[in-house]
Amino acid sequence: MKTYKSLDITPLKFENGKLTILDQTLLPIDEVYIEIKTKEDMWDAIYHLKVRGAPAIGVVAAYGLYVEAGRYDGDEIEDFISAVEKAAVYLEGARPTAVNLSWALNRMVSCLKGQECNSVQHAKEVLLLEAVKIHEEDVNACKAMGEYGLSLLKPGIGILTHCNAGTIATSKYGTCLAPIHLGQERDYNFKVFADETRPLLQGARLTAWELDKAGVDVTLICDNMAATVMKNGWIDAVVVGCDRMAANGDGANKIGTSGVAVLAKEFGIPFYMYVPTSTIDMNTSTGDDINIELRDGKEIYQMWYEKPMAPEGIKTFNPAFDVTDHRYITAVITEKGIVYPPYDINLRKIME
């Protein structure tokens, strides 16, 4: 049995007014923190997945907006607010699917506009306080989801996960990996199977790295091996994160998630989606209304290879997310509790 090694790694650090993020594109080889000094740095880091995972994107963007606001050197409060609003709109354009990005930026702007700031300096302080609040709330939400999630999982079971909804995808602990870290502390001895998660390999590079580092028993598989491990009887539960959940319970998450959900139903395995309330978008009615990010096809056949692994000029289709229909989701784990179907009614109740 492996022993638990508490994880001290965080996706971001904010110290003495300086924002640094762990460059997740360099993992698992290098653990390097890079500084975010401008809105352009922030946009680039989000777009290129140096910071990724819905909650982490939201929290980092909130600090990033504060950092950008800090560069404003005038003393006109109206101009300052308008500059902050423009920067928020610009940052929101970096990635469309994870609602946490627009959620956190809107919250920063609304908070600023809702206060009677008597100086630009005061307004900057208001922004910092709100970013810190968003950050702290996320840490607490992940902790709570860990406890609720663990109540659904028996010691010693096999768990399949897809992508990375762990400690570096959030402020701390993770969403769907939070109960696994917690279970490890409490000797649950889970046997975790991590889908590699093509094309960007978040499962191989991040989940396998994070769980192995924490001493969890983790086995890496290719995405197309999920049916085999289920058929072998090795999987008792599937746990995944979410980038945006619509009001009817349809949940967008990393491409490949919906296929895993369909398989889980076929094999009679519960499929749990971990969704902090910051990821539930009551303004989006169903999964059909979620904007799915399309990325460069070279991620499929070139990015990880010395030579292109497809004919020159091949047509590609590279959606970064898919939508799992609510009927495949056994339960939604939020920081406010576990939500069961019918989701159109029960999500509304929890969001009130």
Among 248, 253, 258, 324, binds ligand MRU (CB under 6 A): 253
Helix 120-150 vs helix 178-185: angle between axes, to the nearest 10 degrees? 60
52 sits near ligand MRU (criterion: CB under 6 A): yes
99 sits near ligand MRU (criterion: CB under 6 A): no
CA-nearest of 328, 69, 59, 321 to 200 is: 321
53 sits near ligand MRU (criterion: CB under 6 A): yes
Among 12, 27, 45, 54, binds ligand MRU (CB under 6 A): 54
251 sits near ligand MRU (criterion: CB under 6 A): no
- The answer to whether 323 and 251 have CB atoms below 8 angstroms apart is yes
284 sits near ligand MRU (criterion: CB under 6 A): no
Counts of helices then strands in the chain (DSSP H, E): 12, 14
52 vs 181, beta carbon nearer ligand MRU: 52
Residue 242 CA to residue 265 CA, distance in Å, equals 18
In which residue are the tokens 């300052």 written?
80
22 sits near ligand MRU (criterion: CB under 6 A): no
CB of 142 to ligand MRU, least distance (A): 8
> How many Cβ atoms from other residues are within 10 Å of residue 139's Cβ?
16
* Interaction residues for ligand MRU, span 136-195 (CB under 6 A): 163, 165, 169-170, 175
> How many Cβ atoms from other residues are within 10 Å of residue 294's Cβ?
13
CB of 134 to ligand MRU, least distance (A): 15
243 sits near ligand MRU (criterion: CB under 6 A): yes
- The answer to whether 191 and 216 have CB atoms below 8 angstroms apart is no
In which residue are the tokens 């995808």 written?
169
Residue 133 CA to residue 129 CA, distance in Å, equals 6
Among 61, 141, 264, 320, binds ligand MRU (CB under 6 A): 320
98 sits near ligand MRU (criterion: CB under 6 A): yes
Residue 238 CA to residue 272 CA, distance in Å, equals 6
Among 21, 39, 42, 55, binds ligand MRU (CB under 6 A): 55
**Residue count, binding to ligand MRU (CB under 6 A):** 18
The question of whether 322 is a catalytic residue gets the answer no
Identify the active-site residue in 23, 41, 138, 243.
Answer: 243
154: left (phi over 0), alpha (psi -120 to 50) or beta: beta
The residues of the shown chain that bind ligand MRU, judged by CB under 6 A, are 49, 52-55, 98, 163, 165, 169-170, 175, 202, 241-243, 253-254, 320
Q: Could you list the active site residues?
A: 243
